[in-house]
Amino acid sequence: MTAGAHRVAHLTYGMLKSYPMMLHHNDLPPFIHPSLVSSDPENHDMEPLTNCMSLMLMISGGVRVNRRLFWRNVRQDCERLCAEQLNLDKWQVLAAMQALLIYIVVRLDEGETDYNNFDSLLLKTVIMMAQRLGCRDIACIAQATVGNLGLRMAWKDWIYEELCVIYQVINMLVYFEPAAMCDQPSDLVLAPLPASKHLWEAGDEHTWKAEIEGGSGIQTAFGLAGNGELVDLNLGQPDCTDAVLLHQQWSGNSPSASSAKWEQWCSGMDAFGGLVMLAASLVG
């Protein structure tokens, strides 16, 4: 790396490390939607994530003995998730992937110790949870029209997309074995990029629907190409076939892709935008 690229990588890594610190203060990182951990009785079971949040509060004081207990609980959570994987619904799997992301960042920050040295179990759990997500065709559900699935289902499933970007960014900084499972086209480094701030900050289904309708029902999908350029994937509201084509047949010369200006995306970017901008500085 050049000195400049090394500095950008350091800043990107620092932003990733800030996400567990936010949980120390009982705040949420930008890839966890507040609705998922609200007290709404209709919420799905997000136990892996709520366990993670409790564990992060445990180590917020920096007491060394708490670190040992923290990693013992993380190991037990990983073992439980692996053992129960076939019985987890898609919301529990999403919560598990969010929690595992936090644990991985904490592990990278802490370095190897005698009580956190179970990287193979962490990676195994990520791979198993990712395989469970793949079995459920989440992408097709998330991109279906609101009318076909009902407002609540479409809004909730849409939340999945934010998580993928962070795992992809981690793979830009360190060798991350589960990244080999991703069937994303080689021309794209990050895709799809986080959606607009107004959509992400919608507090309920009706607000989310109003934002969708305000944009004429079209969601512009952006991706970061290998040359560092922003690409407008121009998918609109695709059906499942279109979503598959995006992942399997996309290329820089595809008619569905066009050069896009960064300001177009930045004008509506959410709190995730800074991480994406730093990642873009590492490629090209």
Neighbours of 71 (CB within 10 A): 22
Q: Place 62 in a pLDDT band, splitting at 50, 70 and 90.
A: low
Tokens of 74: 């993380």
Question: What local confidence, expressed as pLDDT, does residue 4 receive?
Answer: 85
* Residue-level length of the chain: 284
Q: Looking at the predicted structure, is the pLDDT value of residue 145 above 80?
A: no
Q: Place 248 in a pLDDT band, splitting at 50, 70 and 90.
A: very low
The mean pLDDT value for 80-99 works out to: 93
- CA 141 → CA 15, 157, 253, distances in Å? 31, 7, 28
**Residue 244 near residue 232, CB atoms below 8 Å:** no
- CA dist 173 and 167 (Å) reads 10
Q: Which of 32-36, 38-42, 49-53 has the lowest mean pLDDT?
A: 38-42
Instruction: Phi first, then psi: give them for residue 174, nearest 5 degrees.
Output: -135, 165
10 vs 223, more confident:
10
* Sheet containing 258-259: order of strands: 188-190, 222-225, 230-232, 258-259
CA-CA-CA-CA torsion sign (6, 7, 11, 12): negative
Q: Place 99 in a pLDDT band, splitting at 50, 70 and 90.
A: very high
- Return the SS3 of 180: helix
Structural domain spans, the chain: 1-136, 176-284
pTM: 0.81
pLDDT averaged over the chain? 77
231 vs 170, more confident:
170
Q: Place 3 in a pLDDT band, splitting at 50, 70 and 90.
A: confident
